[in-house]
Amino acid sequence: MKNYRAAIAGVGACAALALCVGIVYPRQKPAPATVQVHLVLTDQSLSDDGEIPAIQKENLQVKQGKNVLRLEQLIPAQGDNAALQLFLLIDDTCDSQIGNNLNDLREFIKAQPPTTMVGVAYMSNATIQVAQNLTVDHDLAANAIRLPRGITSTMDSPYLSLISLVKAWPQQKVRREVILVSDGIDRLRNESEWSGPETSMAMRTSPGRPARPVAPMSTMPSISLDADTASSVSQQFGVIVHSIYSPGVGRLGRNAWEQQLGQSGVAKITDETGGEYFALGTQNPVSFKPYLDRLQRIFGNQYYLVFQAIPKKKPGLQRVQISTNVAKADIGAANNVWVPAMASGGD
């Protein structure tokens, strides 16, 4: 009888142990499928003077939501990987006072290394007029810079002009960056969309573009509707946008409210694409040289970051967060990376 009770007790203990094991070690979910993506990041110090701290792959962490992603490579954009395609976009609505800064731009272009191709284009009528396509002949590119026309039309939008450039830019495995010189004021949307209160939805059309609904008009304007699109398109195609503020002509160019909205729209794009925005309030800076020197420092401290991202059923931009444990480092990168759709049959 004692042996029988001991056997029963042993079975009960084993069952309890099995139950505990099931609780302590729950079934693990399979790791999500991933795809390889890359973006360009800048390693900047918190101060313009002094040596920029070096970073290694081991010093970085990339998160997509709550998931820590696997890093594969951190490749310095130097030597054989130093190729850079740089487009200078100048707004044709800029005031003629920018003339004193054009020589700064020319000298900056001429000082670029042989690995940098430079193009020059002017923004007007919601598109661009290319004065010089991408070339390694830096003198040729510098000579393409002219004084902006200083006139306005009903179709002036630096955001649609930027979109036109980015979408037409052939994709290659090199850095692609823009220096945009503008006041950021969207003259195409402003006059018609913020003229006064309305009670119904309207449809807005632009030549060559489908009709789009426009929210009820208001006496309190905000940044351009196209700033978000320009930012998303630039991130989708991996283009980093930098910008220098230069006052524009006309009534809107003199309006302090419009100036601030224009700066906010362009600053949003530069921040979200991993670029830099330079402005001296709403004044034209005496010289662009300090800004251009800072940009040259940026170009010299960039990396290609290759990592595994988690795809969704459809391709699209996915938010990523990049951090480092290197003291005094300041990481600049796009907020989002374009992730292809998951392979057929994925969850």
The three state secondary structure string of 153-189 is CCCCCHHHHHHHHHHHCCCCCCEEEEEEEECCCCHHH
Characterize 88-117 residue by residue with b for buried, 16 or more Cβ atoms within 10 angstroms of its Cβ, and e for exposed: bbbbbbbbeebeebbebbbebbeebeebbb
- Domain spans of the chain, in order of start: 35-78+302-339, 82-299
Residue 49 has pLDDT above 50, yes or no: yes
State how beta strands 277-278 and 321-324 pair. unpaired
pLDDT classification of 189: cutoffs 50, 70, 90: confident
Q: Indicate the average pLDDT of the chain.
A: 84
pLDDT classification of 45: cutoffs 50, 70, 90: confident
Characterize 68-78 residue by residue with b for buried, 16 or more Cβ atoms within 10 angstroms of its Cβ, and e for exposed: ebebeebbebe
User: What would the mean pLDDT of 268-294 be, rounded to a whole number?
Assistant: 94
Please tell me the distance from the alpha carbon of residue 271 to that of residue 273, in angstroms, as a whole number. 6
- Classify 337 as helix, strand or coil: strand
Please tell me the distance from the alpha carbon of residue 53 to that of residue 303, in angstroms, as a whole number. 13
Over residues 2-41, the pLDDT tens digits come to: 554 554 455 454 444 444 444 444 555 556 789 999 999 9
Lowest-pLDDT choice from 6-15, 36-45, 51-60, 303-312: 6-15
User: What would the mean pLDDT of 301-312 be, rounded to a whole number?
Assistant: 95
Domain with residues 82-299, CATH architecture:
3-Layer(aba) Sandwich (3.40)
Q: What is the pLDDT of residue 194?
A: 44
Q: What is the pLDDT of residue 136?
A: 98
Lowest-pLDDT choice from 244-248, 256-260, 270-274, 314-318: 256-260
Residue 210 has pLDDT above 90, yes or no: no
Residue 51 has pLDDT above 90, yes or no: no
Lowest-pLDDT choice from 58-72, 203-217, 288-302: 203-217
Q: What is the pLDDT of residue 255?
A: 86
Over residues 217-265, the pLDDT tens digits come to: 555 668 888 999 999 999 999 999 999 999 999 888 788 888 899 999 9
For the chain, helix (H) and strand (E) counts, in that order, are 9, 17
Q: What is the pLDDT of residue 141?
A: 98
Q: What is the pLDDT of residue 197?
A: 42
Percent share of the chain, pLDDT over 90: 62
Residue 172 is encoded by which pair of tokens? 């290659």
